[in-house]
Structure 1
């Protein structure tokens, strides 16, 4: 029954070819005669070379029915789609071989030497055998060869080498493409997204692929790469392999030293840039350009300090009481406010002075001329920022 169904499908396919070019083939048998001759121009594969380079002339490989050994590979597919490489003008022969009906696929029958689905088109057993032999040429693939434009690795074995030529897993790529396309554009996917947009209950799941990339093969002629590539219009999906960006859980500092050590880790890049810049202009005249550049870098350091303070203020109130080495009252009031009272000018100056001392200690390791004058500049700048921040908070209260 399956063979009869397949014969009917083949009949419909050849009829369509004859209708497209009515003057070229007098009968369906004539079309099959030519198809059997052209079959050697193509090869049925699961791995194709031209995805690596469009001019690669190496042979492909067909891998089916092997154990996957727990790894995701073409062997993981129960029924991998067969790809076709070779002369794009002979892809009609490939489509013939891939016809399927009633659980039967012509290529599988031809591979077993069974041409019974084609028996309906001739009464000559010799002609039927010729068709079978000719079409089977697409399964042979020829001598194993690679190409200079394909990726190659010489792998040492004993005193010699094996030449490894990795091939693009076209069948696996096609299966991935189909599943992603179904999850993105299928009817269920559209219904699920429509329900989410309308805030309606639904049993359907919305499947998304963050940072999905699309790769194109073959340019305007994807059929020159392979048959499956042509069916995908030259497109292939790439899933993101970026490592997750883990966010550390914020914890309270254990001491004053621990606080500054954490802060320094956050601003290491900016601090290095400031030291490098001040070292480069150590003997230059102190012009407006230098002042603006220096002020910008110091402003970045102060901004990072204020942001770190805002993060610590988000912790549950009272954490400063549990510190192994308590910070000053000014810092505790700023970072762990428990009475709702704003910072006083005295406390703001104390915090700013601590910042100035910290910054001076770091700069003096490379810049001998940095001293008290710079210390008071850093102190005034941060004290001013703290007062402005306090005014903003009071304005929003």
Structure 2
């Protein structure tokens, strides 16, 4: 069964109704729903304003509802929340029922036909999808600013996009889920690149009755998330200087144990397909990012620090000591030699994951590892 059919049957059973009757009754109330991208209640609970912005103008440099793929919100009386809920139900193609209504898709028509809703009834429902007209006036309970226009001022209402705000929450939730799966050894995503956005602030609307604000708020209203908008806080730490070899002293296997374990599993896998090769590349590039970051910390130190370490290879001194900045562009041999250092160190570190391990990475793998760092160093020089 399809996602819509499963949902209808499940909801009808909860109400002790026949699925076709429940669905028809719910969709007959579509005209009680108002589409919106900006809901005044997010600013003030007594606001009556809702705006459905369908403009697709691109605001260069800014994220807005007009240039983002954000869900349409629905303002509806709590008594008709079931109607809003089914309109926001996601189907197999990743689009919600509302989007199919707006596009008059044959797919949705076929889904509804299974419950006895014919094309004429479907057409009526499409026509009942209504949107509020952009208001000419604002409300005194909402925040306003006087914006200068030529020799006068225009009153503007500060009204954030609820659709954009709630879609952001969904994206962050998906990121958290992906991050967790990529760290679970039993997950199919284990070892894949993952990302997290820290220091988020939670905010709720509607208290114990989020459905009184909007349909999206009712669905995702446990807590909205706000991104941090603060200057970065830099932690002060001692920079470890290499005496003989940057690789193994500043960057050690312990720093990247997780990545090395994943690389070992990929290099010893029975298959060698494109997916595995891409995973290896992504993990190596992640390690290279760490290498560049730690190297930049040393490069920012006072020139001449490497004079104290006679055993540090000349090519690594050129790379890490700013006193040799001009040499970097005169002779690129230092770059190739540094890449080979990285390749040999990485190959040895991967093979050392298992005790008494006899696996060896060949010249091809070592050259690949070296090339990933060389490629990044060349980008740094541009």
Structure 1 or 2, whichever has the larger Rg, is: 1
TM-score for the superposition, normalised by structure 2: 0.49
TM-score normalised to structure 1 length:
0.48
